[in-house]
């Protein structure tokens, strides 16, 4: 199981190069990172996975772009929308992650979406940057949403991933601090470990030649 940060923004989107992010990620205890709009590589012993984030896209665009990207092994993440959108995206095979759930409507992610996500191994991403940088109602809303997702995850066992959404090395958080922040949203240490290994879990599932149906 690889400990992975599910989303970082290297230079030019951020102020840190992918080399520096990989270097710091290794110091902080990560085995791999998903870097948006960056080719896959192995840097300082850290596996850099290529990522793509589709925000504000229609379902048609999501299907088209995700299908093309998933062929080349890119980790495709899609910004969460309303309930219907999320259900469809969670059921799309080429989509790996559903992100930005804290910004979505209260009913945007329910037990039906959770079941679909579990069946299709689509992970729900918990963006820690909102817990770090957010204050007041924004953070309170995010904590509420994340707590609801953790409760649903315990019931349906869909994959969860954790991302720092770091645009700088200063935005990266060591694994120990991530565990502390996750305790705020009701995740214990084993939940956090499972979530940090979420990317390797879904990547392994995607690579599997045979799917075991219980």
Partner 1 sequence: MSVLPPTLREKRRYILARVEPSGLPLDAKDLYYTLYEAVTSLWGDVVTAAMRPAVISSENGFVILRCRRGTEREFAIALSTVNGCNDCTIAIRVFAISGTIESLRERVKTMDISIASRLPPTDRELFFDGKSVELASRNGQKFDVIEKGFKNAHRLFLTREDLEDS
16 lines the binding site for partner 1 (CB under 8 A): yes
As measured in angstroms, the least distance from the Cβ of 166 to partner 1 is 10
Contact 42, 49 (CB under 8 A): no
The stretch near partner 1 (CB under 8 A) out of 15-23, 51-59, 61-69, 198-206 is 15-23
Q: What's the rounded Cα separation, in Å, for the pair 145 and 154?
A: 14
Q: What's the rounded Cα separation, in Å, for the pair 157 and 117?
A: 9
Q: What's the rounded Cα separation, in Å, for the pair 15 and 166?
A: 10
Q: What's the rounded Cα separation, in Å, for the pair 181 and 63?
A: 33
133 lines the binding site for partner 1 (CB under 8 A): yes
102 lines the binding site for partner 1 (CB under 8 A): no
189 lines the binding site for partner 1 (CB under 8 A): no
Among 5, 6, 9, 20, binds partner 1 (CB under 8 A): 20
168 lines the binding site for partner 1 (CB under 8 A): yes
In b/e form, how buried is each residue of 102-121, taking b as 16+ CB within 10 angstroms?
bbbeeebbeeebbbbbbebb
11 lines the binding site for partner 1 (CB under 8 A): yes
The stretch near partner 1 (CB under 8 A) out of 62-70, 73-81, 114-122, 166-174 is 166-174
Residues 6+ apart with CB under 8 A from 108: 80, 81, 82, 83, 86, 101
186 lines the binding site for partner 1 (CB under 8 A): no
| Interface residue list for partner 1 (CB under 8 A) | 11-12, 15-17, 19-20, 23, 131-133, 135-136, 139, 168-171, 173-174, 177, 180-181, 183-184
């Amino acid at each position: 199981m690889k400990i992975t940060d599910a989303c970082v923004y290297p230079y030019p989107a951020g102020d840190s190069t992918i080399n520096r992010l990989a270097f710091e990620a290794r110091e902080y205890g990560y085995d791999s990172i998903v870097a948006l709009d960056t080719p896959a590589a192995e840097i300082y012993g850290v596996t850099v996975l290529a990522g793509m984030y589709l925000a504000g896209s229609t379902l048609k665009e999501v299907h088209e772009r995700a299908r093309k990207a998933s062929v080349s092994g890119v980790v495709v993440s899609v910004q969460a929308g309303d309930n219907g959108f999320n259900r469809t995206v969670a059921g799309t095979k080429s989509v790996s992650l559903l992100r930005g759930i804290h910004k979505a409507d209260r009913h945007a992610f329910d037990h039906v979406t959770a079941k679909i996500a579990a069946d299709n191994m689509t992970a729900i991403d918990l963006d820690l940057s909102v817990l770090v940088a957010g204050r007041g109602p924004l953070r309170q809303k995010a904590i509420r949403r994340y707590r609801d997702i953790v409760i649903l995850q315990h019931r349906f066992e869909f994959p969860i991933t954790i991302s720092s959404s770091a645009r700088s090395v200063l935005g990266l958080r060591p694994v120990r601090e991530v565990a502390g922040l996750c305790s705020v949203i009701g995740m214990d240490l084993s939940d956090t470990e499972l979530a940090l290994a979420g990317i390797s879990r879904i990547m392994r599932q995607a690579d599997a030649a045979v799917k075991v149906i219980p």
